[in-house]
Each structure stands twice: as C-alpha cells, then as structure tokens.
Amino acid sequence: PLMRACEDGDLEQAQRLIDKGANIHPEAILQAAEKGHAAIVELLSKGGGDINNNHGWGGFTALIFASEE
C-alpha cells in the first residue's frame, strides 16, 4: 500500500500508512522521487527513508531524481 501511495503521489495515504507503522522500503522513496512527488519524498525522508540509497536503480538515488525536477 505505501508503494502505491508513493507512486500515485497520495500524500495523505502515505502519511496514514506511516502513522500506522508502515515500513519505509528504499523502493518507496525512489518511486516517489522518480515520479516527482517531492512532498512524499520529504515525508519519507523525515520518517527515516534514505534518500541516498539507490537500491538497484542503476545508480540513481532519490536525491538525484529530486534534483532533476
């Protein structure tokens, strides 16, 4: 569910899931960054998501995706 919220840019749903203890997987923050959802990237990073993890995305990190926007 968190991955879907990150991909769709659903900030409210992402917040609800994090508040309920959802695990912030590196893929989630990368998905949000790649889609240009800066508010979700910020939410995830404040919740402990690593904006420097590339988790198999060809060397791209959430920080790199965010800087391209």
Least confident of 1-5, 34-38, 39-43, 62-66: 62-66
0.85 exceeded by pTM = no
Query: In which band, very low, low, confident or very high, does the pLDDT at 52 lie, cut at 50, 70 and 90?
Result: confident
| Averaged pLDDT for residues 2-20 | 96
Residues 6+ apart with CB under 8 A from 67: none
10 pLDDT exceeds 70? Answer: yes
Task: Pull the structure tokens for residue 37.
Answer: 């959802």
Stronger pLDDT, 42 or 67, i.e. the higher one:
42
**Measured between alpha carbons, how far is 48 from 68 in angstroms, rounded to an integer?**
22
**Measured between alpha carbons, how far is 33 from 29 in angstroms, rounded to an integer?**
6
Q: What are phi and psi of 55, to 5 degrees?
A: 35, 50
